[in-house]
A and B are shown apart, each in its own frame.
Chain A
Amino acid sequence: MILLNTVQKKYGNKLVLSIPNLTLKDGIIGIVGNNGAGKTTLFYSILNLIKLNAGIVKIDDFEVKEEKWKKSTGVFLDDCFLISYLNCREYLNLVANLYGVDSDSLEIKLKLFDSFLDSIPDMRIQISKLSKGNQKKIGLVGALLNENRLTILDEPFVNLDPKSQWELQNIILKIKNKNQMFLIASHQLDHISKISDKVIVLKSGEIIDSIDRKYLKIETLNRLLVD
């Protein structure tokens, strides 16, 4: 469970995030909003990467500054979550080792991603030499390979080909279990509306709506974002 209480973040004088109270429970939670709506800032706040002007963030009853969440959280927001001078194999080994996953278990876990990663000809290629799409795949696998309590993905479908987008959607649905929470920000409303149990709509740093799966329609999301 993630709890945000009176969270505010300003860049200069501009308020970019203002969340009076938000509780997120398990399941797949989609975060949608136009550019500058505060999606990534919300993630940075949850991940304790930025100094908040006010408020506290808790993951499973512990304040994020206590760092207990790190062992059970998978994140891929952008290129800064990749280590470009490592090869794909070394990167995934490093991530697995940081989670305490041994190499045998890693092999088993990677089987799930066989088809998703088949566009990468050799796992010994340095990450910096891969295409944008393949780099993204490595980052996503790094975030998803452990059965994390919390997984945070920012625009996971961007730069992926249609087949890979469809595979990623299936992988997320396959690995999701009752005790896991996914926070996924995306502009691709079709994917978000298919996989999310709940969608939160952000505008100018504020939550303007929160829609449960049973009421979730792509037209509603479209209308909220366009209006």
Chain B
Amino acid sequence: MKNVIILLMKNEMKFVLRISRARVMLLFSLFLWAQYYFSSFHTNSFKMMITPVYLSLLSIIHSQLLYSWDSSFFSFMLTKVSREDYIKSKYYFHCFLLLISSSIVIVMDSVKQEPIIFQTVAIAVYLLGSLPYVILLLGRFNKKPVDINKGAFMNYEGFTIMPFLLVLYLLFSIAIFYYPINYFWSESIAFYVFFALGCIGFLIRNSILKLIVIDFNSVGKNLFENYLKKIK
């Protein structure tokens, strides 16, 4: 990984730790994980529709204001860092958040001695190989700048449509593969497919990120002009 990308990821980590709004939003995940821990899912198929949300909780919550988080220093990013490095830093940061969320859920499953750990791991790998791309593409809809000094709640800046779209993506993208494969073959094959798709998605990340960078060349300018209009 390039030095610049690591620098930007460190910077984003400082952002999360220092900006109360970002920090509190992520801490909200603790309540949802507690809820997950104390709930019992009796069937694989039901758990499978719910678990992806918990596996990607940090990423989904933080991505709610993707790009908008940077609105107060967007000019800095666009003039000091290449668009490719900027997008890659966002990508790897969300992979990192996914890894943390997934590890927490997998540990909880292990503690509860759930018999479906492989399924959870397979879905986690699938998410790693697909969700960050969806997040980067949906970030284009976050056209409003945010005031990072405002609190997490009652900030009058509203919520974005992004978490809703991401949860829809999680439910549909998993259902599309799971139900046909389960119907024609077996459930375990469905999980092997998820695992394989995740690995492929992660391995071809450079090619997919190239396309997202090309898209961001115009999206970045649109976002900049929007932030500029709203800030002024």
On A, residues with C-beta under 8 Å from B are 47-51, 65, 67, 70, 73, 75, 77-86, 90, 94-95, 97-98, 128
Contact = CB atoms under 8 A, between A and B. Distances in A.
B144 to A, nearest CB: 15
A50 B83 CA distance: 14
Contacts of B217: 65
Contacts of B3: 97
A116 to B, nearest CB: 20
Interface in B1-34: 3-4, 7, 11, 14-15, 18-19
Given A81-B76, A83-B76, A85-B18, A49 B83 contact: no
Given A65-B217, A70-B80, A77-B75, A86 B7 contact: no
B75 A80 contact: yes
A75 B74 CA distance: 13
Contact of B83 (A67, A80, A90, A128): A67
Nearest to A47: B79
A81 B224 contact: no
20 contacts: A47-B78, A49-B75, A50-B224, A70-B80, A70-B82, A78-B75, A80-B72, A80-B75, A81-B73, A81-B76, A82-B76, A85-B14, A85-B15, A85-B19, A94-B11, A95-B80, A97-B3, A98-B80, A98-B81, A128-B149
Contacts of B224: 49-50
Contacts of B19: 85
Contacts of B231: 80
B4 A98 contact: yes
A41 to B, nearest CB: 10
A84 B79 CA distance: 17
Given A51-B222, A67-B83, A94-B7, A84 B73 contact: yes
Interface-central residue, B14, B73, B148, by most chain A CB under 10 Å = B73
B79 A73 contact: yes
B221 interface: yes
A77 B75 CA distance: 9
Contacts of B75: 49, 75, 77-78, 80-81
A70 B224 CA distance: 17
Given A50-B225, A51-B222, A97-B3, A83 B79 contact: no
Contact of A51 (B15, B78, B82, B218): B218
Contacts of B222: 51
Interface in B203-224: 217-218, 221-222, 224
A81 B228 CA distance: 13
Nearest to A97: B7
Given A48-B221, A50-B225, 13 more contacts: A47-B78, A48-B78, A49-B78, A49-B221, A73-B79, A75-B80, A80-B231, A83-B11, A85-B19, A85-B148, A90-B14, A94-B11, A98-B80
B74 A80 contact: yes
Contacts of A78: 75
A70 B81 contact: yes
Contacts of A65: 217
A12 to B, nearest CB: 11
* Closest CB pairs A-B (n = 10): A80-B75, A85-B18, A83-B73, A81-B76, A51-B221, A67-B82, A75-B79, A98-B80, A49-B224, A47-B79
Contacts of A51: 218, 221-222, 225
A73 B80 CA distance: 8
A128 B149 CA distance: 10
B45 to A, nearest CB: 44
Nearest to A90: B14
Contacts of A80: 72-76, 231
